Amino acid sequence: MANTEKASLLFDIDNTLIDRDAAFLRYLQDFMDRNQNAFANEDVASVIGNILALDCHGRKDRSQFCQELLQNYPGLPYTADTLWADHLTLPEFVQADSLLENMLERLSSQYQLMIISNGSASMQHRKLGGAGLSHFFEHIFISAEIGYEKPDRRLFSHALGFCRHTGIVMIGDDYLNDMQPAMALQLKTVFVNPGKLQVQVQVLEQPTRPDREITSIHALEEALTCLI
**pLDDT per residue as tens digits for the range 172-190:** 999 999 999 999 999 999 9
Which residues 6+ apart lie within 8 Å of 66 measured at CB? 78, 80, 83, 84, 87
Structure confidence by residue, pLDDT tens digits, 44-87? 999 999 999 999 999 999 999 999 999 999 999 999 999 999 99
User: What pLDDT shows up at residue 199?
Assistant: 61
pLDDT, tens digit (0-9, with 9 covering 90-100), for 134-173: 999 999 999 999 999 999 999 999 999 999 999 999 999 9
Angstrom distances, CA of residue 15 to CA of 21, 26, 62, 163, 190: 7, 15, 17, 23, 13
Model confidence, pTM: 0.92
Sort 37 into a burial class: Cβ within 10 Å, 0-12 / 13-18 / 19+: exposed
Average pLDDT, the chain: 93
142/145 Cα distance (integer angstroms)? 5
Alpha carbon distance 167, 146 (integer Å): 23
> What local confidence, expressed as pLDDT, does residue 164 receive?
95
